[in-house]
Amino acid sequence: MGLLAPSWAGSAVADATGDAGYLRALLDAEAALTRAQATLGLAPKSAAAAVTAAAAEPHRHDPRTLALRARAAGNPVVPLVADLTAAVADRDPRAAAYVHRGATSQDILDTATMLVCARALDTVLTDLGRTADALRRTAARHRDTPMAGRTLTQHAVPTTFGLKAAGWRHLVLDAHDRLRSVRAALPAQLGGAAGTLAAFHAYAEAESGSAPAADLGARLLTAYAAETGLAAPLLPWHTVRTPVADLAGALACTAGALGKLAADVLTLSRTEIGELAEGSGGGSSAMPHKANPVRATLIAAAARQVPALAAVLYGSLAAEDERPAGAWHAEWQPLRDALRLVGGAARDAAELTAELRVHPHRMRHNLDTTGGLVVTERLVAALTALTGRGEARRILDAAARRTAEEGIDLSEALRTARHGDTTLEAALSEARLRQLLDPADHMGSAGALVDRALERTAHNPQEPV
């Protein structure tokens, strides 16, 4: 139920990846297999109808009982096939022989897993789209809102909040593109006992009395994929786990992209910074005044967990033989956990960005806290043209030390330097000095970069619209 997982509890992805969701997917995979065989004349259409009807009743199967019985065979497909066969026999005794015919347990569980992933990713992609839309609005609204750029935790040079929000959006769209590409490629699985599809040839030959065409298995694989709505793989992929590895990478990328957004919100919503706030912060059991950035906290927690889960999934690429012992089984729970964490993070990100409160006055206040030191980069360039780079650095190094040590503004320190240098005083007027010291006048291409970033839509920029 997610008692210790508030990041995904109650989410649509939690439902899609729960035991009931997996059970539905397993039954869907079994029904699709019989229908695919019926399209090629390998099973009666009446059998396909009977299996599909029985599979449409997941309430007849108890996930807990199946889980306990799964220990005998190492996976839940074996007891489920027994129960589904009995359910089909109640409807049509002759159709029961066509339940799971020719398949192996991994065919059904892999296909069901891809169905679960597809259904979960559809929700995640929707939430990422909502997040990107909210960030588009925020970036446009704050295109020219000045704030301190920070590097290595310290004020660096001025930037704009619009540029920061545009960067968040760019990451979200990168994640969206990767997940969308993986979602489109999620394949059905069908290979039989060892990836040759030989059982289907054997059944076809036994019933027709002659050897079937050599491409029977390939045609059946294509038909099966069509029945499930998944992609048709080039080969059975029992030990060619690229689909799972690709999904693992995309999920880790998405968690990291959302984690970047969360990390910035957590930093900028600190009491002493106060530049951002969540629209509806969380409370504290002990301190009535607290409004904690809960959504950002949950996203940050997810971002720290998903890469480790992805590592387990990458490890399963090294699978022995034609079907492995352990490598395949090790994927199940980490993949489900990664889907849930990313799904919860995407939900929280959509809510966070829709309600995010921005405080430009705090951004400007913080921008001014260094007494003008945030624009020394600009001053070096301006003074270099007047005095040469070496002399410009000497003047500014001395002025910066006075600013830090004496607690005065950089403008005062520079005015003192001007009084002692007639050349500098003549070249650097009071009006020019005020202009150079204005952080809002040292934004470079920030506004143009925001405009450029917002031209990107929610499609892969390498693909035609």
> How many Å apart are CA 7 and CA 294, to the nearest integer?
10
Catalytically active residues are 284, 323
Average pLDDT over residues 8-16: 87
> Which two three-digit tokens encode residue 262?
């969360």
> How many Å apart are CA 76 and CA 63, to the nearest integer?
9
Which residue from 18, 95, 12 is spatially nearest to 55, judged by alpha carbons?
A: 95
- How confident is the model at residue 464, as a pLDDT? 37
Which residue from 112, 134, 114 is spatially nearest to 346, judged by alpha carbons?
A: 134
Which residue from 10, 65, 55 is spatially nearest to 30, judged by alpha carbons?
A: 55
What confidence tier does 283 reach under pLDDT thresholds 50, 70, 90?
low
DSSP reduced 3-state for 196: coil
> Which two three-digit tokens encode residue 347?
């939900």
Give yes or no for residue 285 having a pLDDT over 60. no
Give yes or no for residue 463 having a pLDDT over 50. no
| Segment 291-342, tens digit of pLDDT | 789 999 999 999 999 999 999 999 999 999 999 999 999 999 999 999 999 9
Q: How many other C-beta atoms are found inside a 10 Å radius of the C-beta of residue 9?
A: 14
Give yes or no for residue 434 having a pLDDT over 90. no
231 - beta bridge partners? Answer: 187
Mean pLDDT score of the chain: 92
Cβ(85)–Cβ(96) below 8 Å = yes
- How confident is the model at residue 404, as a pLDDT? 87
What confidence tier does 67 reach under pLDDT thresholds 50, 70, 90?
very high
- How confident is the model at residue 422, as a pLDDT? 66
Give yes or no for residue 239 having a pLDDT over 90. yes
> How many Å apart are CA 248 and CA 258, to the nearest integer?
16
In terms of C-beta density within 10 A (0-12 exposed, 13-18 middle, 19 or more buried), how is residue 165 classed?
Answer: buried
Distances (CA, A) of 168 to 54, 93, 138, 165, 453: 47, 58, 11, 5, 10
Which residue type occupies 198? Answer: A
- How confident is the model at residue 280, as a pLDDT? 77
Average pLDDT over residues 76-90: 97
- How confident is the model at residue 456, as a pLDDT? 94
Give yes or no for residue 461 having a pLDDT over 60. no
DSSP reduced 3-state for 259: helix
Average the pLDDT over each of 135-139, 263-267, 328-332, 401-405 and give the range with the smallest value.
401-405
Give the 3-state DSSP-derived string for 346-358, with helices as H, strands as E and coil as C: HHHHHHHHHHCEE
> To which residue do tokens 């005794």 refer?
93
Give yes or no for residue 201 having a pLDDT over 60. yes
> How many Å apart are CA 378 and CA 199, to the nearest integer?
75
DSSP reduced 3-state for 130: helix
Which residue from 77, 107, 321, 55 is spatially nearest to 221, judged by alpha carbons?
A: 107
Q: Is 409 left (phi over 0), alpha (psi -120 to 50) or beta?
A: beta
DSSP state of 241: -
What confidence tier does 282 reach under pLDDT thresholds 50, 70, 90?
low
For residues 391-430, one letter each, b for 16 or more C-beta atoms within 10 angstroms of the residue's C-beta and e for the rest, the string is ebeebbeebbebbeeeebbbbebbbebbeeeeebeeebee
More confident residue, 4 or 265: 265
> How many Å apart are CA 397 and CA 403, to the nearest integer?
10
What confidence tier does 462 reach under pLDDT thresholds 50, 70, 90?
very low
Residues 6+ apart with CB under 8 A from 115: 25, 28, 29, 228, 229, 230
Cβ(239)–Cβ(320) below 8 Å = yes
| Segment 356-375, tens digit of pLDDT | 999 999 999 999 999 999 99
> How many Å apart are CA 267 and CA 22, to the nearest integer?
39
| Segment 130-182, tens digit of pLDDT | 999 999 999 999 999 999 999 999 999 999 999 999 999 999 999 999 999 99
